[in-house]
Chains A and B, each alone.
Chain A
Amino acid sequence: MATYTLISSNVLSSSAASVTFSSIPSTYTDLVLRISARDTNTGAIIGSATFTFNGSSGSLYSITKLIGDGSAASSSRRSSITSDEFYYPGANAGMSTNTFGSAEIYIPSYTASQNKPFSTFAVTENNSTTAGNSEIDAWANLYRDTAAISSIAINAYVTFAIGSSFYLYGI
């Protein structure tokens, strides 16, 4: 039986500040959110999109980051924050035109009545020799809530560009 099912998708035909998946059924084991995105902000080489589950904006999120920027690897942490995040390219002159970043957010056991560990893997590649103009992110994330995840709201750094795509799969 096939178990990788597209729940919903949103491919932007006009720029948008946010994308939301709501009424996510509890019939799957895991959720996978696959994103191809670029921001319209000309001030950012790489920007941060934020996302929340179930409309929760309390200090329920935390991240342990592992980042490679083409020059060095580093690790850092954000604790008790009000949203989670992932990095993706902006429209700064240092970022080549038409370059979109890719991200996969994998949420296992999203209906389990326990805190939700999940992972974020995001990449931006820009054919640039400048460190920080491309990036690979492998992050550990935690959402400290025992309720099943039934909605995901994603907010752009400023505005998601036309052509940005968001696919939510249930496994």
Chain B
Amino acid sequence: MPTATYDKIATTTLSSANATITFSSIAASWTDLRLVFVVSSTSTATNFQVQFNSDTAANYSSTYLNGNGTAASSGKNTSATNIQFTDVTATSTTVPQMYTMDIFSYAGSTYKTALGTSSQDYNGSGSSASIVGLWRSTSAITSITLKTSGAPTFSIGTTATLYGILKA
């Protein structure tokens, strides 16, 4: 019988607005992690960010490719305190958005690379983005925190699911 390779580790659906979502005590049982979340925020002026192992130091960097429906652009954030999914100027408080992040070899002893996508279409506005992020730490990832930039919070109904992927 084939070995199971794609497991749901945990899922969270917010019953009240919250500023963060955290997956903790992540076992080193898998090869890669995949994070999928469908989210809306209580404010339009926000971006969504990820931190690992509660590390708030400037150990993160990212490069993104963004399309806003009119033009494509690329940029980067260096020596940052998180991996930010995109640099859009406005999100939606009513239309949910989709984000994914694949974290490769999360339990290894090298720096951690993450590939993210941001899908925000609001029927007339929005953006699509791909992001590559780096966390300069050799520690295994045991917790992941999703947060919003600034004061806004995740709205009720926001769903986040963490999957573990095992090599074949």
Q: Tell me if chain B binds chain A.
A: yes
Q: Is B105 an interface residue (CB 8 A)?
A: no
- In the complex, the chain A residue whose C-beta lies closest to that of B34 is A171
Contacts of A73 in B (CB 8 A): 65, 67, 72, 74
- Among A2, A109, A114, A141, the residue within 8 A (CB) of B121 is A141
- Among A63, A65, A80, A109, the residue within 8 A (CB) of B38 is A109
Given contacts A3-B7, A63-B121, contact A29 B161 (CB under 8 A): yes
How many residues on A have C-beta within 8 angstroms of the other chain's C-beta atoms? 39
Give A106-150 interface residues, CB cut-off 8 Å to B.
Answer: 106, 108-109, 112, 114-119, 121, 138-142, 144
Q: Is A14 an interface residue (CB 8 A)?
A: no
Given contacts A4-B6, A30-B36, A142-B123, contact A75 B161 (CB under 8 A): no
Q: Is the interface of B mostly helix, strand, loop or mixed?
A: strand
Verify A76–B69 contact, CB threshold 8 A. Answer: yes
Give B58-73 interface residues, CB cut-off 8 Å to A.
Answer: 65-72
Interface residues of A (CB under 8 A from B): 1-4, 29-30, 62-68, 72-77, 79-80, 106, 108-109, 112, 114-119, 121, 138-142, 144, 171
- Among A1, A30, A66, A72, the residue within 8 A (CB) of B128 is A66
Contacts of A106 in B (CB 8 A): 36, 98, 100
Q: What is the CA–CA distance of A171 and B163 in the complex, to the nearest angstrom?
A: 9
Verify B119–A115 contact, CB threshold 8 A. Answer: no
Contacts of A65 in B (CB 8 A): 67, 69, 128
Q: What is the CA–CA distance of A171 and B4 in the complex, to the nearest angstrom?
A: 12
Contacts of B100 in A (CB 8 A): 106, 119
- Among A63, A79, A115, A138, the residue within 8 A (CB) of B95 is A115
- Among B6, B38, B163, the residue within 8 A (CB) of A117 is B38
